[in-house]
């Protein structure tokens, strides 16, 4: 109970990285604007040729009523598709074999345990989906043709799911890593539990973030490709570059999924609207949007340009992977791994847990982590640019994800710096002196 109270205090501090007014304003704005934005983006991509101006003119002419008319009702087909997909992914998460791995020590001293079967679940999902199409059992174009209804169902279904998380956090938390900030809006938005589970083994955040959200990105990328093939009888090289790069990125994600369980999303951000609604709705709609645009815009890049973009994108994904790998190997080997062929630069940082125990942790100060404190965000943003640029520059909307990601990661770097400063104190200050740039070396 003491630990829960202390944790609650740390939550209150955590939410207020920005001023209280700005925090309230951004939380309320995001809660109210994200759902309609998902529908507007889909509508503009699929029905207005990707042109923001066309949608703007439509809304100017038809007003609120026009907007209500374009919002699709969640149909039975949409619910069926979502239910089959969610149950299939939940079953794979529970029953596919995998090594047991431990997550990092939580603020109250717990160590969550996971089953690492992400690569297998990813392979089974894609093979099953493509086989269903190949053998004529289920045509993925049905998903594309009901996309608006699916997003609409996801928006409402996920909101209800977040209410369930809020109630569960209050009535039946799965561990001591839970607590209320004392503010109903923050509790709903940021979440209450760090590691909510159903039973002992079904981890809700692994499901929402990885097996539903990230997996849906891959499934939809394939869907868009198949839709273009079924419509035009061929797939344009722009679509191929986009799909391959997204699939390489998602393959990397599942290859490294156990590493993801050590990152901010899982180890620091609680299960609420921000993370869970984001992964259940924002990932399948916004993250996949460059591919959604390309379905009806089959640009031909030519072999040379297509291959150049492909290579540049794969390089960025590799560097992003290598940054994460370098940090994790360094921590796993207790600072003994070689970094770029040399002994790593490091800071031994001590900190106090919410239970009052003193622990130590290592901060890497060389390799990618010596260039800037969040250098890994640079290749992440660049990769997004490379899988979007095949759509060329006729419309801005396909670049929305790229712009959104840039803002998200710049804000995240700030949040993470603040969190690490309050966790490590003078040790973080030393790191900032050694590595003065936050994201872009010599610039920011």
Q: Which residues bind ligand NDP (CB under 6 A)?
A: 104, 263-265, 320, 324, 327, 361, 363-364, 369, 376-377, 380, 405, 412, 416, 419-420, 423
Residue placing its CB nearer to ligand NDP in the complex, 150 or 405: 405
Beta carbon of residue 105, minimum distance to ligand NDP (angstroms, whole number) = 9
- Pick the closest to residue 113 from 175, 68, 185 (CA basis): 175
Q: Are 204 and 197 in contact (CB under 8 A)?
A: yes
Residue 251 or 263: the one with the smaller Cβ distance to ligand NDP is 263
Question: At its nearest, how many Å lie between ligand NDP and the CB of residue 150?
Answer: 21
Per the rule left: phi > 0, alpha: psi between -120 and 50, beta: everything else, 302 is left
Which residues are paired to 349 by β-bridges? Answer: 361
Instruction: Report the distance separating Cα 287 and Cα 256, nearest Å.
Output: 19
Beta carbon nearer to ligand NDP, 206 or 235? 206
Least spacing, CB of residue 83 vs ligand NDP, in Å: 26
**Least separation in angstroms between CB 195 and ligand NDP:** 16
Q: 221, 128 in Cβ contact below 8 A?
A: no
Give whichever of 257 and 324 is closer to ligand NDP, judged by the CB atom.
324
When the beta carbons of 104 and 298 are compared against ligand NDP, the nearer one is 104
Q: CB neighbours of 382 closer than 8 A, spacing ≥ 6?
A: 312, 316
Smallest gap, in angstroms, from Cβ of residue 239 to ligand NDP? 21
| Tokens (6 digits) for 402 | 């790229």
Q: Nearest CA to 34 among 143, 168, 158, 194?
A: 158
Smaller CB separation from ligand NDP, 193 or 416: 416
Three-state DSSP class for 368?
A: helix
Sign of CA dihedral 241, 243, 249, 255: negative
Which residue number is nearest to ligand NDP in terms of Cβ? 263
Residue 299: strand, helix, or coil:
coil
Q: How far is the CB of 19 from ligand NDP (least distance, A)?
A: 22
List the alpha helices (DSSP H) in 48-175: 52-70, 76-95, 118-134, 141-145, 147-171
Structure tokens at 255: 């290859």
How far is the first Cα of the chain from the last one, in angstroms, to the nearest whole number?
42
- Output 49 or 265, the one with its CB closest to ligand NDP: 265
Q: How far is the CB of 413 from ligand NDP (least distance, A)?
A: 8
Q: Which is nearer to ligand NDP, 150 or 363 (CB)?
A: 363
Smallest separation (angstroms) from ligand NDP to the CB of 4: 20
CB of 209 to ligand NDP, least distance (A): 10
Nearer to ligand NDP, 182 or 436 (CB): 436
Helix (H) or strand (E) holding 116: strand 113-116
**Distance (Å, whole) CA 198 – CA 204:** 7
Q: What are phi and psi of 435, to 5 degrees?
A: -125, 85
């Amino acid at each position: 109970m003491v630990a829960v109270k202390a944790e609650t205090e740390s939550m209150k501090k955590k939410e207020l990285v920005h001023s209280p007014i700005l925090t309230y304003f951004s939380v309320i704005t995001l809660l109210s604007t994200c759902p309609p934005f998902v529908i507007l983006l889909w509508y503009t991509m699929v029905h207005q040729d990707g042109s923001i101006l066309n949608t703007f003119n439509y809304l100017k002419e038809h007003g609120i009523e026009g907007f209500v008319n374009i919002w699709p009702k969640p149909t039975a087909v949409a619910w069926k598709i979502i239910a089959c997909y969610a149950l299939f992914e939940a079953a794979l998460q529970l029953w596919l074999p995998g090594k047991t791995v431990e997550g990092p020590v939580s603020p109250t001293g717990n160590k969550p345990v996971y089953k690492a079967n992400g690569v297998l679940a990813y392979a089974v999902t894609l093979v099953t989906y493509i086989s269903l199409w190949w053998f004529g059992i289920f045509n993925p174009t049905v998903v594309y043709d009901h996309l608006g209804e699916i997003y609409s169902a996801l928006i409402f279904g996920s909101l209800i799911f977040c209410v369930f998380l809020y109630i569960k956090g209050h009535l039946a938390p799965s561990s001591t890593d839970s607590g209320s900030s004392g503010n109903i809006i923050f509790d709903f938005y940021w979440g209450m539990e760090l590691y909510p589970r159903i039973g002992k083994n079904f981890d809700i955040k692994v499901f929402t973030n990885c097996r539903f959200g990230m997996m849906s990105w891959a499934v939809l990328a394939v869907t868009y490709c198949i839709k273009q093939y079924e419509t035009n009888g061929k797939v344009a090289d722009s679509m191929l570059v986009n799909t391959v790069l997204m699939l390489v990125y998602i393959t990397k994600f599942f290859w490294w999924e156990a590493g993801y369980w050590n990152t901010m999303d899982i180890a620091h951000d609680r299960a609420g609207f921000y993370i869970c609604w984001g992964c259940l709705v924002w990932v399948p709609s916004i993250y996949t949007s460059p591919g959604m645009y390309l379905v009806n815009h089959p640009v031909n890049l030519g072999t040379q340009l297509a291959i150049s973009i492909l290579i540049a994108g794969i390089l960025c994904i590799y560097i992003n992977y290598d940054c994460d790998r370098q940090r994790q190997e360094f921590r796993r080997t207790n600072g003994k791994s070689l970094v770029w062929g040399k002994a790593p630069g490091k800071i031994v940082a001590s900190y106090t847990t919410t239970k009052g125990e003193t622990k130590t942790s290592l901060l890497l100060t060389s390799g990618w982590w010596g260039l800037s404190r969040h250098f890994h965000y640079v290749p992440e943003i660049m990769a997004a640019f490379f899988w979007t640029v095949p759509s060329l520059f006729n419309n801005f909307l396909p670049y929305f994800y790229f712009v959104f990601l840039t803002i998200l990661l710049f804000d995240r770097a700030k949040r993470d710096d603040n969190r690490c400063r309050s966790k490590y104190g003078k040790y973080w200050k030393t790191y900032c002196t050694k590595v003065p740039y936050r994201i872009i070396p010599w610039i920011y």
